[in-house]
A and B are shown apart, each in its own frame.
Chain A
Amino acid sequence: MTHINLRNVTFNRKLEVDKHRNMSGGSASRKRHRDVIQNVTISISDGERVGLLGPNGAGKTTLLRLMAGIFRPDKGSVVREGEVSTFLDGGFGFDQQLTGRSNCESRAIMARMRGVRAKEMVKWVEEFTELGDYFDQPVRTYSTGMIMRLVFAIGTAQTHQILLIDEGLSTADAHFQTKALGRLREMYNNAPIIVLASHSIALLKQHCQRGIVIIDGQVAFDGTLESASEFYSQHPRGNHEVSRVW
């Protein structure tokens, strides 16, 4: 059964906290550890659609990275059952000098795909983006809209049981939007687990039933999305006491 369990997870990062002048008059900085996620326990089971709310820098993206296995917790444990698709920064690993096809093939290899599966992904992206001859042109020649199409298609070409999405997925021009929205709907409907981090309550309400408010790296609220958004609007930064109504 697909699930994600975070138990007492703490994760620290080295942040530049102390800027000072160095001998030549320039500025240097010291790095200090700071717990960006503190003692978080979350359990997400099959069929749940979870919205993560919280101010900038609260730890939403870090939490998604912990769930995806990109970050490993310093304390506590993350147990995950099911393959994960992450949509954090769609354009990662792109090489502007190479063609859309080459970039797509690269992403397939990075996603550990082989043979027919990889070829099918490239074919699917080529058809979905409708880039035509541009698919075999260097990405640096693309317009912003064309890059967005390619990023979207590569990002959504391969979807797994667990979708971890940061700030939704942006789409390009109006014509492509309908197609992309259809693809998103298909993805959202088929994935057993979705965790969507966003500032947009409207977007979260559209796709999620459960809401978790993260403030200063802690779970400040965990309940229905309706009550979570209400909690968040009343306590955009404060009240760190954990409140659970789920």
Chain B
Amino acid sequence: MNTFFSPLNQIVVERRIWSHLGWRDLKSRYVRTIIGPWWSAANLITVVFGMSLAVGLLSNTRTLSEAPRIALVLALWTLISSNLVEAVDLFEGEKGLLLNMEIAEVSLIARMVWRNTLIFAHNIAVIILVFLIAGQDLNTRLLILLPIAFVISAGTLFPAYAFARSIFFLRDLKTILPSVIQLVFFLTPILWIPPSSGPMAVIFAINPAGWVIEFARLFILENIFDSYLLVKMLMFTFASLLLISLSAKSMYSIRKLL
């Protein structure tokens, strides 16, 4: 079991379990609500219009001119940040499963990432709706959101695991992490567009969340294919998959900590 690539292999072998549990989480979260998982989309749309209004007023531009960009980047940011923030409770919250059945630890990470990807799929509807309202052209370039969601999911596997694992040694992380993620929000090109020079350009150069968001923005809204950003994104994703593969032994020891 403790062989290289075994976590990736386990993700494939146990796909039926983690995909079911991911769906079940969503079902449970929105059970007895009127619009179910569309509530996440409703929340996003509120933030998009609120933020667009503020940005439009501050920059003296047309109120909704920034709405498509904000909808796009916020939907992507929500997927990235949820995968990281929700990781802190991952193993402790699933103690029952880990101590009572043979389930790979990595399947629990896959379950969380899948759950957030399903929410992202609902948020794509918000992006389309905002594009329509703001008069932005709907085009097939939007389809790139599907491979991008995959890249984000694969790319956040290891960071999510690292946070979930670290909580056993540094419990303070549970309190600190949401604030850190909030800080990263401001350091990611969500409210701003990356400049070519200066301190924000340096921050952008070392922020993987920024690469994926900027790549999507350039491709969908500006019709620019930035291959340099794509290579950086893919390298980060590959590193995440490599590190998760190397974590087989450390992953197994989680059961000892519960």
Contacts and interface: CB of A to CB of B under 8 A. Distances in A.
Interface string A108-123: 0110100000000000
Given A14-B256, A106-B20, A95 B99 contact: no
Contact of A65 (B16, B96, B99): B99
B100 A69 contact: no
B31 A109 contact: no
Interface in A87-135: 88-89, 91-93, 95, 97-98, 102, 106, 109-110, 112
Interface in A152-184: none
Given A86-B100, A98-B28, A72 B252 contact: yes
Contacts of A12: 256
Which of B21, B27, B100, B257 is most buried by chain A, counting CB atoms within 10 A of its CB?
B100
Contacts of A98: 24, 27-28, 31
Given A71-B255, A98-B24, A89 B99 contact: yes
**Main SS class of interface, B:** helix
A109 B31 CA distance: 20
Contact of B100 (A14, A89, A106, A109): A89
B101 interface: yes
Nearest to A88: B100
A109 B20 contact: yes
Interface string B11-34: 000001100110010011001100
B96 A92 contact: yes
Interface string B221-258: 00000000000000000000000000000001001110
Contacts of B257: 13-14, 31
Given A70-B255, A89-B96, A92-B96, A138 B31 contact: yes
B256 A106 contact: no
B205 interface: no
Given A97-B28, A97-B31, A70 B102 contact: yes
Max count, chain A CB within 10 A of own CB: residue among B1, B24, B28, B96: B24
Contacts of A89: 96, 99-100
Interface string B94-133: 0011111111000000000000000000000000000000
B21 A106 contact: yes
A112 B17 contact: yes
Contact of A109 (B17, B27, B99): B17
A106 B96 contact: no
A225 interface: no
Contacts of B32: 97
A27 to B, nearest CB: 12
Nearest to B24: A106
A102 B24 contact: yes
A91 B21 CA distance: 16
A197 B98 CA distance: 20
Contacts of B16: 109, 112
A86 B101 CA distance: 8
Contacts of A220: none
B101 A70 contact: yes
Nearest to A96: B28
A208 interface: no
A6 interface: no
A68 interface: yes
Contacts of B98: 70
Given A106-B20, A106-B21, A112-B17, A95 B102 contact: no
Given A69-B102, A98-B27, A102-B24, 9 more contacts: A14-B256, A70-B100, A72-B252, A88-B99, A89-B96, A93-B97, A109-B20, A110-B17, A110-B21
Name the 5 nearest CB pairs between A and B, nearest first.
A92-B96, A92-B100, A97-B28, A13-B256, A109-B20
